[in-house]
Structure 1
Amino acid sequence: MSTIFDLSADSLAGAPVDLRQYQGRVLLIVNTASKCGFTPQYQGLEQVYQQFKDRGVTVLGFPCNQFGGQEPGQADEIGAFCEKNYGVTFPLFAKIDVNGEHAHPLFAKLKKDAPGILGTEAIKWNFTKFLVRKDGTVFNRYAPATKPEELVADIEKLLAE
């Protein structure tokens, strides 16, 4: 059975990142955007990261421009925005597609393993969240309106596994 640790993605700087380096950690994977009504969730994501990073949790942010053109910037603009406005220190990756024929393989796998409401795989909007176990299997998918701090109990549960 393949897991997300069999995949790679490009960092915001464009360098390939083998996701295997996160094996043994709980991951919170999110498709993000800088000009979205949910953009303030960057602050909550950073708080969750700071609260749990030393206990084995990593937040991974994947900018996406597929929803209302809400992530129009280039990599350097996205990074500067996130750092300046929200103090983001968790890993950010290169802008990707999460839906359609060019969907990044990571999000294709996440959607297949944790479909949304009524079994639909498509991601409906920015800040859809996936919580992944230490072994690389998907624990749950959360709607964009679900605030990062609402995931704390589930994160604690996965850390105890």
Structure 2
Amino acid sequence: MTKNDFDFDREFFFDLLERRHDATIIAKRSLWKLFDHWGEISENRLNGMVHISLGNIGERILGKVLEREFFIDVVARACVTCVMLEVILSVPALRDGVPVEIARFLVAPNNEILSSENETIFAEAPDTYLYLNDADLDESVRSYDVLIAVLRKVMEVHAIF
């Protein structure tokens, strides 16, 4: 920490904290709406070869693909101007089952997916999804794309001891 970390306005901080708290709740609801399609996609499009256990908003997501378990944890990353969600993908170590991080990405308020370095790696492409003319179907397709990226990462990682 530095001296600047202690230079703040207490009243402003409370207001900022309250706004960031509300923004975090909204962001997690939006992300869970995207994740909500994963169970149906796993059953219908992936023929049950993938299992996803989606709990309540903010809880760890459990999954399994090719007999390999994985976990998804979501935490808020607040800055002065916005709240982003940090999504951490991990697999259990073979030795003791402790989760080991294999990837992470950020979800911006506009639903773009960013790398840890804040580079856009997956943006909503209106020209790709608009032809569907159905907002729910658009979200389902986007959800499928995110799920595939997660599953590929899990399938490609080497065994961790």
Q: TM-score, normalised by structure 1?
A: 0.25
Give 1 or 2: higher strand fraction: 2
> Taking CA–CA contacts closer than 8 Å with sequence separation of 6 or more, which of the two structures ends up with the larger relative contact order?
1
Q: TM-score, normalised by structure 2?
A: 0.25
